[in-house]
Amino acid sequence: MDCIFCQIVAGTVPSEIIYQDDEVIAFPDISPQAPIHLIIIPKKHIPSLAHLSEAESRLMGHMVSIANQLAKREGIFESGYRLVINCGKQGGQLVPHLHMHLLGGRKLPNALG
Ligand code: 5GP
Ligand code: ZN
């Protein structure tokens, strides 16, 4: 298994797991781009948003719901935050395991490229 995020799920690469349930885990980004920068992933290896099946689309709603809960827990729910999913080469995806970034804690710049 050479996927870094699968290794975090398996516990073979250490990370501070700040949330987990049967389907999802969340941990701090190793290279934070904002005071709060968390990564939320499905435990299942799905390479990208483009590989999400219709049957798995409910998972995205669950991940958004977890992101909202974590935004509350991190104290940025009221001030505002951003969820980002990069997909594929031109979408800026570096780690080929579907993930959502939760960013906040500062005024974020326009990020529509
Ligand atoms: P992408 O560009 O694929 O959307 O974002 C991948 C993110 O994963 C980057 O923000 C990067 O800092 C983070 N990342 C890469 N490797 C690791 C790791 O081993 N541990 C953690 N916690 N984050 C990682
Ligand atoms: Zn993976």
CB distance 86 to ligand 1 below 6 Å: yes
pLDDT at 16: 97
Rg for the chain, CA atoms, rounded: 14
**17-34 confidence digits (pLDDT tens):** 999 999 999 999 999 999
Catalytic site residue 37? no
Euclidean distance between CA atoms 91 and 112, whole angstroms:
11
**107 has a pLDDT exceeding 90:** yes
Q: Delineate the domains of the chain, giving CATH numbers in brackets.
A: 4-104 (3.30.428.10)
pLDDT-derived band at 96 (thresholds 50, 70, 90) equals very high
Nearest ligand 1 atom to the CA of 101 is 4
CB distance 85 to ligand 1 below 6 Å: no
DSSP classification of residue 76: -
pLDDT at 85: 98
**60-69 confidence digits (pLDDT tens):** 999 999 999 9
Could you tell me what percent of the chain has a pLDDT over 70? 100
User: 33: closest CA among 96, 92, 98, 97?
Assistant: 92
Specify whether the CB–CB gap between 83 and 102 falls below 8 A.
yes
CB distance 84 to ligand 1 below 6 Å: no
pLDDT at 61: 96
Residue 81 Cα to ligand 1 midpoint, Å, equals 18
In this structure, the number of other CB atoms found within 10 A of the CB of residue 3 comes to: 15
